[in-house]
Amino acid sequence: KYSFAPTNGEFKGVRTFAEEVKHIGFANHLFFGPLMGETIDVKNIQQESNGPAELKTKAEIIQYLKDSFALGHRAISTITSENEVTLLPKPPLPFLSTRLAIANIGTFHPMDHYGQMVEYLRMNGIIPPASRPRPPQPPSSQPKPQQ
């Protein structure tokens, strides 16, 4: 179902599921790369925002996404109270001029796309993993009430 994209009504022309995943990876690299000293050369952000065209298989796409989140973790770990609002010499986008702004968008942007991907799953009769019922836990593993 990686190639799925709704095609009717308001959905015409939206990204496929795979393109959503690659877009999140691309955006993470765009946002966090500069914090790690990487130069991101994007000539046309609209054309390139679906991630590398050469990534075709599910395994390649998932690895790209995982690597992008690992980059984000490393980048965010460099933020301190001393540098969080210092203006960046080369921000990835004009409105992302501080490390704090990058951490903020890097946190909420994937969730916007996660919401879209959840809808794609539901359109295909798939219950998203986070929404699936969980088996009951034995009483010994449940947290004890606070007194």
Q: Which residues of 3-29 are buried (b: 16+ CB within 10 A; e: fewer)?
A: eebeeeeeeeeebbbbbbbbbbbbbbb
3-class secondary structure per residue, 60-75? HHHHHHHHHHHHHHHH
| Residue 83 located in a structural domain | yes
Q: Which two tokens stand for residue 92?
A: 């990835």
Structurally, the chain folds into a number of domains equal to 1
Report if residue 115 sits inside a domain: yes
CATH of residue 137 = 1.20.120
Give this prediction's pTM.
0.84
Q: Tell whether 92 is covered by a domain.
A: yes
Asked whether residue 147 is assigned to any structural domain, the reply reads no
Helices marked H in the chain:
17-32, 45-48, 58-76, 99-123
pLDDT number for residue 22: 96
- Any domain includes 3: no
pLDDT digits 0-9 by tens, 22-45: 999 999 999 999 899 887 777 666
Q: Is residue 129 part of a domain?
A: yes
Does any domain span residue 56?
yes
Specify the pLDDT at position 136. 85
Position 142 confidence tier, pLDDT thresholds 50, 70, 90? low
| Segments forming the whole domain that contains residue 93 | 9-141
Q: Is the dihedral of CA 80, 22, 90, 94 positive or negative?
A: negative
